[in-house]
Amino acid sequence: MVNRTWIFNPLFARHATNLMLRIQEFNVYLRLAPFRSADCACYGAPASSSASEMTAFTNSSQTQFRMSKHGQKTSLRCQPWKILRFRWLLLLASGLLGCASAAKALKITEFKNGYLTFSVEDPSLFYRVEFKPNLTDSVDWDGSFHSLRNIQTSEAEVTVPVGVFYRVVGRETPWIGGTASASDILVGKSAFVEDDAIEGTMPNIGQQTFIPGTAPQTISLGFHDGTGSVVGDAALAAGNIVTGATIFEVEGTALQASGDAQASHVLSGKTFSRDGAVDVSGTMPNIGQQTFIPGTAPQTISLGYHDGTGVVEGDADLTPENIALGVNIFGVTGTFEGMARVPKTGQDGARSNRARDDGSLQVGAAWPNPRFTDNGDETVTDNLTGLMWTKNSNLPGGVRNWADAVDYCTDMNAGAGTFGYTDWRLPNVKELQSLINYGNMYPAMPVPTAPFTGVESGAEYWSSSTFDFFVPYASDDSWWVDLRRGRVDHRPKTDAYQVWPVRGGL
C-alpha cells in the first residue's frame, strides 16, 4: 500500500522520496515595486466559478489566471511565463519574496497549494513576485530573482500562482538511484538507474596483449578481463643497449663498435668489429720474416704483416774501391781503376780470312746490349765505356781548328752547364776510337748509329790528344779520328775538323 501526502516542497524538485513531509504554514513576503508603467495590465472582473477553483490556460499572446478570493473571482491578464520560472518559484516557495526596488515588502497573507495571496496597499502600483534560489544562502533581496511582475489591480487582495504542484510518495521498496549511463555498463548487460532499465554499450575487450615497439599502441576502450598483458623481454638489459641510448627507461652500457677498418687491414686469424659490422675475420697475410739479397732487379716486399725480423742483406764489400771508376752501385760511386779490358773490335766471322784471326776469335770485352742508351736530355750513354756523349755529333754546327774545338767544349761548362752538366770536354783519341766498329764502313760505327744525330759518313773529328812524333813539332799536330773508315792519324792543329763533346769515362 502506498501512503501519499500532497505537499509543496521545492527541495524535492525532480523526484519524490520515501520521506514523509508536511508543511504547516508559510510566511512569505512580497515587496512592493513602485513601478508607474507596465508591459501588461491586470484587472478584476466578476466570474461565476466556485471559490476553490483555479484554472490556467495559454494562447499565443497571453496567459489568463482565474482565481478566487472572498467568494469573488478575479481575472488577471499578463504576458506568458515559462514553466521554468514556476520551477524557480518552487525552489524557494518556503522562503522570502522580495523586490529589487527600495519599496517595502508586503505581507503574504496566505500561501497554499502553489498559490500565494497578498494585500494590495496601493492600486496604482505595479507588483512583482521575487524569490531567493536557495534558502540557506546569503543572497540579498536585489530583484535578481523574480517571476510574476507588473501585477496591478484595484482589489484589496490578490491570489496568484507561484509554481507547480509536487507530491511526496511513499512505498515499501526504495527507489533505485544512480548516475550510470549505457556506456558505463558492459555490453550484453542491463541495469536500473533512477528506476529506468538501461542496456549496456561498454565494449567487452576481454584479453589484450601488447608487444612494445617504436610507436605507441592504443589500449582499446572498454572492459578488460585482467588476463591481458604488455609482453616483457629478458634481453631488455643495460648490457644489450648501446651507451647513450635509453629504451623503456633502461640506460644502455654496451660499447658501440666504431671505426672504418676492413678485413684486409686486420691480421688473418683475428677478428674485429667496426661501425656496422661485428665479428669480422681479418684477411691480412701474416708474412712473418722476409729477407732480401740485393741484385740487379727490384725485389717485391710481400703484402702483409712483417714481424720485424726480416732484413735486406748488406755487404761489407760495397765500397768505392771495389766498384769501377765512375760506376754507382746502390748509391756508392766506384773509384777502382784496375785492369781495363780491351773491348772487341766489332769484327765477326764474315771478316775472318785466316784461322785464329780477329774475325774468328773475336776476343775482348763483349759489347753490352743495348750498346747505347738515349737519356732523353740530349745526351747518350755508351754502356760499354760509360762515356756520355752529346746526342748531336756535330753540336757546334761546323768545323773548327783544334784550339777552338778545345775551347768550345770548355765553354759548355759555364754557368749551369749544358744539358745539366758542367764537366764537358774534347774526347781523347782512345775515347773516339771506342766508337769505331771495325766491322763496318761509312761510317765505321756500331750499326745502327741511332740514337745519335748529325753523324756524317765522312766525319773526321779532333781528339784532345797531341801528336808527339818529333819533339820540335810536338805542339803542332793532334791525333785525329776518321769515323768514316775507322782511321786514326794526326793533323796540324790549324786544320779544321768536327767537334764531338764528351764527359765521364773509365
Burial readout 55-83 (b: 16 or more C-beta within 10 A, e: otherwise): eeeeeeeebebbbbbeeebbbbebeebee
CA atoms within 13 A of residue 44's CA, in its CB half-sphere? 15
Of 290, 439, 458, 455, residue with least CA distance to 360:
439
What domains lie within the chain, and their CATH numbers? 4-169 (no CATH), 174-202 (no CATH), 317-366 (no CATH), 367-503 (3.10.100)
- Can you give the pLDDT of all 506 residues of the chain as single tens digits? 333 333 333 333 333 322 222 222 333 333 333 333 333 323 222 333 222 223 332 233 333 333 333 333 333 333 333 323 332 333 233 233 333 344 566 778 888 877 888 888 888 888 888 777 665 566 667 666 777 778 888 898 888 887 644 455 666 667 677 889 999 999 999 988 877 889 999 999 999 999 999 999 999 999 999 999 999 999 999 988 888 899 999 999 987 778 889 999 999 999 988 887 888 999 999 999 999 999 989 999 999 999 999 999 999 989 998 888 889 999 999 887 665 667 776 667 776 777 777 767 777 778 888 889 999 999 999 988 889 999 999 999 889 999 999 999 999 999 999 999 999 999 999 999 999 988 888 888 886 666 888 876 568 999 999 887 665 555 788 999 998 888 999 999 999 999 999 998 64
Contact 411, 396 (CB under 8 A): no
Assess contact for 170 and 18: CB atoms under 8 A: yes
DSSP designation for 174: P
Residue 123, preceding peptide bond in cis (omega within 30° of 0) = no
**Amino acid at the residue 479:** W
